[in-house]
Structure 1
Amino acid sequence: MARMAGELVDNKGRGDVGWHWPPIHPEGRKFGLIAVGISLFAAFMAWETIAWPMAFLSLGVFAFFRDPERVVPQDDRFIVSPADGLVSLIAQVEPPAELTMDDGSGTPSLAREPVTRISIFMSVFDVHINRAPIGGTVRRLVYIPGKFMNADLDKASEDNERQHILIERHDGLMLGFTQIAGLVARRIVPFVKPGDTLAAGARVGLIRFGSRVDVYLPAGTDPRVLVGQKVVAGETVLAEIGERRLIEGIAQ
């Protein structure tokens, strides 16, 4: 029996799947079209030294804002990566004050105790759509203006422009993560607001042109990834809630 394009694929072999060019997120289309317009105008004016660089730039812009579909692991125990990129830091820290303090709104907060923070660095070549690490309700979304230092530095978590997001799962488990702008990144664009209910892997926002995302694991949870490992937003499992284990690896 012929399969219809777009039909659901499952582990029984039902459905249809194939590679295709990923769509471009609407947030990036205007930038790509501006670059294309400049390139075409320069070509019309025979300004080849401008036309060709702008043509390549337009391709780069479209690639930066690509928004591929992801296959999200369906298990409430899993915390999935909110970002594509490289695990650059894993450390024991206290969550940011914006996620632990009583803000007077009556919304819950994280406990003021050290937890494991996983930092994921996104280069300009990575997909920059960020996704929810767990399913639940957005309880806080706090934007903090700041500097634009190298997002790969540890102190970027406290000094750079950033946006904190706190999600509460149906059973009361809380998880916080932070979008951090970097040297090139100059804008954090949210797709969600407090009160929104999200599925694990749902799109929550993007950071333009290179950045970092910090994830604060719940207490008693160890990471399943290593520093130097490449992760994929919405697909790579960063940790299993309540699982404690030492993972070792060798850099190749």
Structure 2
Amino acid sequence: MVELPLHNLNYHETRHNINHDTEENVERPAENTPLLHRFPQTIPERNTRTTVIVSLLLIILISGVIIGIYLLVLQNDSENVLPPVEMPLQLVSRSQWDPSNSSQSALRSFPYRLRAVTVVHTDTKQCSSTETCTNLLQDMQNNATEANSTLRYNFLISSNGQTYEGLGWLKCLPETQRNTPSGLLLAFIGNFTEIPPTRSQLQEAKNFFATSVSQQYLHPTYRIYGKNTKETPVPLIKTLKTFPQWSN
């Protein structure tokens, strides 16, 4: 038997021990290493919370779009119901054209927020200035046969687009309520059995309706009615039928 030198023996044993330790380190897992490190960690609660938040944001977004569309539809409908006020009402008060300020003690009071406006024509000549209209209204007032000898109209509109106060928004003659819907009596100054009202008159009428609603004298769902005098003012009635509030 061949004996190995001592230094070779020590080298062999040392190498054997190193290889043995290496194999143990490779084959035997560390006992203090947690098993969770070998698998991806899942957090179901966080995923559920994220899903809920995203769903709520989508619901809010969709609701905002729906509300926006609804408000746009309402705006379009309101433009069809209430005509826009393009110009302020050109109102001439009763005291401006009637210095006598005729007594109106026999007049009755209107209820709050009327739902009807009856439109007629005065069946007189037209007027197109404050001076000529004042003279015309004073003549009509002097020839009035209604209660207390006053004009029966609540307001009158001239050819140049001015609104003249008659009985005003809050008063009416008892006789005017028997054959017409309870509401304001609006007169177009002139005779319209053959000719239509002027563009200024129509625009002022729209301004009058809008102002009456905004001041809460008229209900937003008010209706417009026509009434015959001696002859039917066909051109006037035909024009009024273009208003969305016209009632057949």
TM-score surpassing 0.5? no
Structure with the bigger percentage of strand: 1
Structure with the bigger percentage of helix: 2
Name the TM tier (shorter chain). Answer: under 0.3
Q: TM-score, normalised by structure 2?
A: 0.27
Q: TM-score, normalised by structure 1?
A: 0.26
Point out the structure with max Rg over C-alpha. Answer: 2
